């Protein structure tokens, strides 16, 4: 991997490194509870057969199809002759969702509904799921909960920079340089919450939300109570995927850089904590969803190639 520092790789990949893009087409789904989500699909390639594999990507906190990792992955799937779709969690597609609820790190029920609907629409298609950061944790949690049943929905999965120990990750993001990332997350999360408060005045304590300086503070006031958790500790404990990794039955790749500033290396699982279906890959560098390679100005193609390679190998 190019660039040794975890913070350097993280920020460079997100802000500086050039990344390929491909045209995307938006589709809106109505949810069973009266809300909606938006999915951004790669345009149909004339050379892509109807049975071409489908890669379903779940983004990270406040991410979406414009995030560098999503754009790079969609461009790679298109070039490879596969289909790709980025699923936006509620409120992350550029338009506020309808209901008070939003999304959270352990929203495996939402993952289940989305993947099963896609499988119903494309029953003969090999389907692969990729989750990044928050989306990776939620995907892994779903895989652990579903066990063997997940194999009837997807053929393989990958989780990238997933904060599988949310307590360790959340606390790390509340210290030192990591507060820079936290401030960026909170800026958009506060904006959305203020808009929601205009619709639902009893959503949360406005003053406490505005005063939140860490994700722990914000989750305690907004995310946890809004999604049925007692408080931040209850949310982070119950939503963490790490305790469920032993139950995963679908071939799954976990990629976490050892210098990821969002999750201390000591909190990563070892082989005794995962099932035989899980492949652990912990490169020394890469930061948080960084993985920049090549000479200046760097490329973001290592990760898409690795995921497509794993999906190809695991389903052959």
Q: Which of 93, 133, 169, 240 is catalytic?
A: 133
- Residue pair 290/10 in contact by the 8 Å Cβ criterion: yes
Phi/psi for 303 (5° steps) reads -65, -50
Active site residue 133: yes
DSSP string, 220-253: IIIIHHHTT-SSHHHHHHHH-SGGGGGG--S-EE
Q: Which of 40, 219, 260, 301 is catalytic?
A: 260
Give CA–CA dist 236/74, Å, rounded. 30
Active site residue 260: yes
Give CA–CA dist 275/279, Å, rounded. 9
Give CA–CA dist 6/285, Å, rounded. 7
Q: Which of 104, 108, 288, 314 is catalytic?
A: 288
User: Which tokens sit at 58?
Assistant: 């779940």
Give CA–CA dist 90/170, Å, rounded. 21
The separation between the first and the last C-alpha atoms of the chain, rounded to the nearest angstrom, is 28
- Residue pair 115/56 in contact by the 8 Å Cβ criterion: yes
Residue 173 CB neighbours (<10 A): 22
List the catalytic residues. 133, 260, 288
């Amino acid at each position: 991997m190019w660039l040794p520092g975890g913070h350097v790789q993280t920020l460079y990949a997100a802000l500086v490194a050039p990344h390929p893009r491909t045209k995307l087409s938006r589709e809106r789904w109505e949810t069973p509870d009266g809300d909606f989500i938006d999915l951004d699909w790669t345009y149909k390639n004339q050379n892509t057969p109807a049975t071409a594999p489908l890669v379903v990507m779940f983004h990270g906190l406040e991410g979406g199809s414009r995030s560098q990792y999503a754009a790079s992955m969609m461009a790679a799937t298109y070039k490879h002759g596969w289909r790709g779709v980025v699923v936006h969690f509620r409120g992350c597609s550029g338009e506020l969702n309808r209901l008070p609820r939003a999304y959270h790190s352990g929203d495996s029920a939402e993952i289940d509904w989305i993947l099963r609907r896609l499988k119903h629409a494309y029953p003969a298609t090999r389907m692969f799921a990729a989750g990044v950061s928050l989306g990776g944790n939620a995907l892994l949690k779903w895989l652990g909960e579903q066990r063997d049943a997940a194999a009837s929905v997807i053929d393989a999965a990958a989780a990238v920079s997933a904060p599988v120990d949310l307590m360790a990750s959340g606390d790390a993001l509340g210290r030192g340089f990591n507060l820079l990332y936290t401030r960026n997350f909170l800026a958009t999360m506060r904006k959305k919450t203020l808009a929601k408060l205009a619709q639902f005045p009893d959503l949360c304590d406005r003053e406490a939300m505005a005063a939140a300086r860490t994700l722990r503070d914000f989750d305690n006031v907004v995310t946890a109570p809004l999604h049925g958790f007692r408080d931040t500790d209850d949310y982070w404990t119950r939503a963490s995927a790490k305790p469920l990794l032993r139950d995963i039955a679908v071939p799954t790749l976990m990629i976490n850089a050892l210098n990821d500033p969002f999750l201390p290396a000591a909190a990563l699982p070892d082989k005794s904590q995962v099932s035989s279906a899980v492949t652990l890959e912990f490169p020394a560098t890469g930061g948080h969803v960084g993985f920049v390679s090549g000479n200046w100005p760097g490329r973001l193609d290592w990760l898409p190639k690795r995921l497509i390679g794993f999906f190809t190998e695991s389903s052959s």
